[in-house]
Structure 1
Amino acid sequence: MNAIEVENLRKEFKSYSSRSGLVGAFRDLFTRNYKIIRAVNDISFTVKQGEMVGYIGENGAGKSTTIKMLTGILTPTSGKVIVNGMNPHKEREAFVRTIGVVFGQRSQLWWDIAVQESFRLLKKVYRVSDKDYNEHMNHVIETLDIGPLLDKPVRKLSLGQRMRCELAAALIHNPPLLFLDEPTIGLDVLVKLKIRQFLKEINEKYNTTILLTTHDISDIEALCERVIMLDEGKIIYDGSLQKLKETWGEGKQIQFTFVSEMSLDTLKELTDGLQVTWKQGEQANVWTAHAPSALLPEVISRVVNRYSIQDLNINEISTEEIIRNIYEEGVVHG
């Protein structure tokens, strides 16, 4: 069974512009100039029940707009959306009881009351029985280590404490589908690890489907086997994270620390004829070469035979670097 079915989904917005000058302002009173912007442009994908999928892209790529349509906050301009067997916009009341949503920069908890009071209110909203609430939430509270926070007002919590409580609040009704939009933004490493471990546990225990949007690629690597990559409202990759690495992550990075400053033209001339890309580090004497594994000996030989170096490091290309290169080079993979 598919938890999410999206077919030719599109969302358009009108962007208005003002004319300059007094005459222009007067004309704007009667007619406005505008253009149509497609935030999401005819995308299609499915997510199976129990999958954990990373939904990634640069700012403005259309990630949050997609999430808002999938959760029923926004109505699509065109296309088909079926989530948990329902239309999010037409079956709103029944639908919201089947999903949990965490927006990293928005709170569903009441600011001035104790966390446990917010939980009780949400319990009433979702019509959760005392028995179900106690059985499920005792585990959630213990795993996320928020017991000592329950009697504190939300406004007195740190960002990390609040985000753990936000996650717990989204799971009060134990939904089969969880939407997470930047859930670890601004959090320290220990809190991130705790949240990641908890998400793995609920996925294994309840077969909870999770759609995760984030700029933190380490979240994706820790949780998701599949990624959907969005660029300018279109899907440019939908597949396994491992395949993405194998397809676009071939080769290695060689970081050279030269004794003196080095220019890009000099390095390009030195490796002329080889499939090498050079990028400068934070210092003028630090350069990184991206080259296929088979060319490593030749690249290193040419550099060390011509110039003095202080240090040399060979690294695998990180997932973050792969994704950055795809966007920078405009690589499209269906």
Structure 2
Amino acid sequence: MELIELDRVSRTFTVRSKAGRLRRRRHEVRAVDGLSFTVRAGECVGYIGPNGAGKSTTIKMLTGILVPSAGRLRVAGVDPARERVALARRIGVVFGQRTTLWWDLPLRDSYELARRLYRIEPARYAANLERCVELLQLGDLLDTPVRQLSLGQRMRGDLGAALLHDPQVLYLDEPTIGLDVLSKARVREFLREVNAAGTTVLLTTHDLTDIEQLCGRVMVIDHGRLVFDGDLAGLHAAGRSERTLVVDLARPGPPIEAPGARVVKVAGARQWLAFPAEQSAAPIVAAVADRYPLQDLSVREPVIEDVIARMYAGAVGG
């Protein structure tokens, strides 16, 4: 089932700038430009792009905060802008730099307010609260005022609040920003559990490890347009990713010659050879081992940050 549907959606803003001492010039900025995609129920999709690409504008339209200037938009079968109250019961939203929790109240009281706001039945609320407390390790935090929680603890608290009403879709905006390694691992593990249980997740983040560990599909947006939509393997192929063979020779020598690979760096007896990510390393390794005295070798996988950086710079279009 298609849970999220965008058909040629655009959103423009009118911006005023100075045109002299007393005059102002008006011009339109197209934040989202003819965007079309669908997300099926149960998917976990990474939605990424450079600052100003249109990610936040898209999320605001999906939640009903903004109305599209053109095109058709549906979430769980409803128009977000026209049926915001009905949609609110079907979605959860977590913003990494904002909180939906009450600052001076204990975490437990914020959850009780959420129960009343979403009109969650007591038995359902109790079951969902128990599940969130267990998975997010919130037991020792329920009676702590939100203002006394660390960033990682508050983020886990926000995730729990967003899921108490069993949303069909969970929108996440930078859910691991500023978190330490342990907190990030806990949040990611929880999101894997939530997605495996059937909740559809749309994740925007600049931490590409989130994408690698959580998402089976990636969409890249730039200047309001979708420039890539596919899996991580397809992303590496589109970005012309390369793997690296690191070779430690018995002694320093000239650059290694191996079919299908090229030397990108030499440092004494160590050399780095790059080759296309989709290509097998076996023939290159065999050729090097046959022709050169080896001490050790290893293969390094491509770095997703490099692929995305090339996309942002305009090296890949779509």
- Give the TM-score of the pair, scaled to structure 2: 0.84
Give the partner amino acid of 1:58: P
Secondary structure at 1:58's aligned position in 2?
coil
User: Could you say which residue in structure 1 is the equivalent of 2:309?
Assistant: 324
Structure with greater helix share of residues? 1
Matches within 5 A, 1:1-334: 1-19=1-19, 24-25=20-21, 27-28=22-23, 32-205=24-197, 207-253=198-244, 290-292=274-276, 315-333=300-318
CA distance in 2, matches of 1:249, 1:331: 9
Greater alpha carbon shift after TM alignment, 89-98 vs 286-295:
286-295
Alpha-carbon distance in 2 for matches of 1:226, 1:277: 32
Q: CA deviation at 1:112?
A: 1.1
Classify 1:277/1:117 alpha carbon distance in 2 versus 1 (closer, same or farther; 3 Å): farther
- The question of whether the paired residues in 1 share the 8 Å contact of 2:63 and 2:84 is answered with no
- Paired residues, number: 302
CA distance in structure 2 between the partners assigned to 1:288 and 1:106 by the alignment? 44
Structure 1 residues 251 and 296: alpha-carbon distance in aligned structure 2, compared to 1, 3 A threshold: farther
What's the RMSD between the two structures over aligned residues? 3.2
Offset of residue 124 of structure 1: 0.4
Query: What is the distance in 1 between the residues matched to 2:79 and 2:115?
Result: 24
**Counterpart-to-counterpart distance in 2, 1:39 and 1:148:** 43
Q: Is the contact between residue 262 and residue 275 of structure 2 (CA under 8 Å) also seen in structure 1?
A: yes
Displacement of 1:58 after TM fit?
A: 1.0
Name the SS for the 2:188 alignment partner. Answer: helix
Cα distance, 1:278–1:41 mapped onto 2, change above 3 Å: farther
Q: C-alpha separation between the residues in 2 aligned to 1:5 and 1:287?
A: 49
SS of 2:201's partner is: strand
Query: Structure 1 residues 112, 251: closer, same or farther in 2, change over 3 A?
Result: same
Answer yes or no: is the 8 Å Cα contact 1:181–1:212 preserved in 2.
yes
Greater Cα offset, 288-297 or 180-189: 288-297
Asked whether the equivalents of residues 225 and 242 of structure 1 are also in contact (C-alpha less than 8 Å), the reply is: no
**Quick one: structure 1 residues 117 and 86, their matched pair in 2 at CA, closer, same or farther if it must change by over 3 Å?**
same
Identity percentage of aligned residues: 46
Q: Distance in 2 between matches of 1:103 and 1:179?
A: 8
Indicate the residue corresponding to 1:282 in structure 2. none
Q: CA deviation at 1:43?
A: 0.5
Normalised by the length of structure 1, the TM-score is 0.80
Give 1:325 shift: 2.2
Contact 1:277 1:291 survives alignment (8 Å): no
Pair 1:319–1:33, CA change in 2 (3 A) = same
